[in-house]
């Protein structure tokens, strides 16, 4: 049986998750959660996410970068030309599989008919941006956990959903 896929994202109420190749906010509690949750895991991510995440290769993460550029394969980083190819590699690697975006990768993975867990930080704001997490609310999720939090700029909720 294939492994459970974990998706991890922080998005606003209007589903914005990125702007100009960066996060559209700075939420330290969420960044800490993201780094702790993904440490030691097998991570599937797009080229831009990889190139803009300075700590990606730290903390024992095993990276599979979805890209058409094979020259990115170096120093323990695997590359795959497609999401199915990346997930096939991930199945052969130890530990849990985490999918960290970006937009097209989330779209493809959410459309798969297989067990998945969504670690969603829902930022309670409408935010300007150019990358969106796909609509997820119509899918048949079971809520596993929920925790509300906030800082001086944002209110947000850490949700774990499964289907
Ligand atoms: N808030 C969050 O939790 C969160 C999470 C993820 C991303 N983001 C934000 O989203 C933005 C980055 O995401 P992005 O969507 O722009 O880029 P991305 O997915 O990280 O990278 C895009 C590149 O990855 C490859 N790629 C992506 N999907 C593919 C597919 N389905 N099949 C084959 N190749 C694929 C292609 O690489 P080649 O061009 O090399 O072929 C493509 O040009 C940033 O703003 C980031 O901050 C936010």
CATH no. for residue 24? 3.40.430.10
Sheet holding 155-162, edge to edge: 78-80, 62-66, 42-46, 97-99, 5-12, 116-123, 155-162, 142-150
pTM over 0.95: yes
Instruction: For residue 125, report the distance from its CA to the centre of ligand 1, in Å.
Output: 23
- In the reported structure, the alpha carbon of residue 101 is separated from the centroid of ligand 1 by a whole-number distance in angstroms of 6
Is 70 domain-assigned?
Answer: yes
In a domain, 58, yes or no: yes
The CB of 79 under 6 Å from ligand 1? The reply is no
Name the percent of the chain lying above pLDDT 90: 97
| Rounded distance between C-alpha atoms, residue 124 and residue 3, angstroms | 31
Whether residue 17 contacts residue 24, with contact meaning beta carbons closer than 8 Å, is answered with yes
Residue 141 covered by a domain: no
Centre of ligand 1 to C-alpha 31, Å, is: 18
Parent domain of 34: 14-136
Question: What is the best residue among 101, 109, 133, 159 to mutate for testing ligand 1's pocket, by most ligand atoms within 8 Å of CB?
Answer: 101
Cα 13 from Cα 132, distance rounded (Å): 10
User: Over the stretch 16-45, which tens digit does the pLDDT of each residue have?
Assistant: 999 999 999 999 999 999 999 999 999 999
Each residue of 89-131: pLDDT tens digit?
999 999 999 999 999 999 999 999 999 999 999 999 999 999 9
pLDDT at residue 1 tops 90: no
Is 66 within a domain? yes
Number of structural domains in the chain: 1
Provide the token pair at 42. Answer: 């097998």
In a domain, 145, yes or no: no
The answer to whether residue 75 sits within a structural domain is: yes
**Residue 110 phi, psi (nearest 5):** -65, -25
Q: Ligand 1: which residue has its CA nearest to atom 33? A: 82
Give the CA angle between residues 105, 17, 131 to the nearest 5°: 60
């Amino acid at each position: 049986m294939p492994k459970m896929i974990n998706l991890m994202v922080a998005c606003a109420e209007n589903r914005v998750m990125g702007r100009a190749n960066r996060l559209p906010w700075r939420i330290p509690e969420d960044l800490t959660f993201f780094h702790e949750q993904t440490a030691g895991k097998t991570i599937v991510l797009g080229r831009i996410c990889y190139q803009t995440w300075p700590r990606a290769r730290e903390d024992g993460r095993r990276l599979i970068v979805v890209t058409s550029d094979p020259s990115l394969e170096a120093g323990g980083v695997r590359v795959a030309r497609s999401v199915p190819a990346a997930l096939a590699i991930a199945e052969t690697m130890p530990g849990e599989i985490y999918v960290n975006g970006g937009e097209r990768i989330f779209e493809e993975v959410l459309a798969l008919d297989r067990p998945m867990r969504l670690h969603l930080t829902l930022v309670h704001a409408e935010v300007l941006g150019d990358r969106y997490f796909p609509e997820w609310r119509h899918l048949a999720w079971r809520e596993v956990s929920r925790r509300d939090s906030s800082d001086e700029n944002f209110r947000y909720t850490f949700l774990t959903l499964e289907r």
